[in-house]
């Protein structure tokens, strides 16, 4: 499962995210064998290449610790600031609730007035750190 830290400032590095998340996982979720799988800092750029927003994306296993971990992270601070922390869902046509399970999504039955996605933005992964599980 993924956790997203929304709208982080440009001065936060991947090491800062690691120091923010790892102690909570090691202290509160060590009995459940919670593991940090990866950290990413993602930036959205406009057509000219100027940064618009930055996000932190955290991959956690097992899925059972995601909700309590979000609650624990919400109370913490990173660079003396609080951020919106939420579960990140990967969207695909397979898990679209509007689609009939027997057929592909028909856009003729779509009740949306216009496209809500910001198609003019480009996603760039600035930093990524993978964590290898320790063998016991």
Domains of the chain by residue range: 1-91
C-alpha–C-alpha distance, residues 31 and 53, integer Å: 36
Beta bridge partners of 43: 54, 124
Task: Tell me whether strands 2-6 and 84-88 are parallel, antiparallel or unpaired.
Answer: antiparallel
CA distances from 124 to 36, 43, 46, 49, 83 (A): 22, 5, 11, 10, 21
> pLDDT at residue 18 above 90?
yes
Residue 30 has pLDDT above 70, yes or no: no
Instruction: Kindly report the backbone phi and psi dihedral angles of residue 84, in degrees, each rounded to the nearest multiple of 5, phi listed first.
Output: -80, 125
Top-level class of domain 1-91: alpha beta
**Does residue 58 have a pLDDT over 60?**
yes
Residue with tokens 């910001």: 118
- Provide the pLDDT for residue 134: 60
**Predicted TM-score (pTM) of this structure:** 0.78
What does the pLDDT average to over 48-72?
A: 91
pLDDT tens digits, 106-121: 555 666 666 667 778 9
Q: Which residue has the higher pLDDT, 25 or 98?
A: 25
Predicted pLDDT of residue 100: 58
């Amino acid at each position: 499962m993924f956790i997203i830290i929304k709208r982080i400032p440009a001065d936060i590095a991947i090491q800062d995210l690691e120091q923010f998340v790892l102690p909570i996982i090691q202290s509160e979720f060590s009995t459940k064998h919670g593991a940090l799988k990866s950290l990413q800092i993602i930036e959205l750029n406009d057509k000219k290449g100027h940064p618009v927003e930055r996000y932190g994306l955290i991959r956690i296993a097992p899925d059972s610790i995601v909700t309590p971990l979000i609650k624990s992270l919400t109370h913490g601070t990173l660079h003396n600031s609080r951020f919106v922390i939420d579960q990140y869902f990967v969207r695909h046509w397979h898990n679209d609730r509007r689609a009939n399970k027997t057929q592909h999504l028909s856009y003729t039955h779509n009740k949306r007035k216009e496209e809500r996605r910001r198609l003019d933005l480009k996603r760039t992964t600035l930093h990524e750190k993978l964590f290898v599980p320790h063998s016991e």
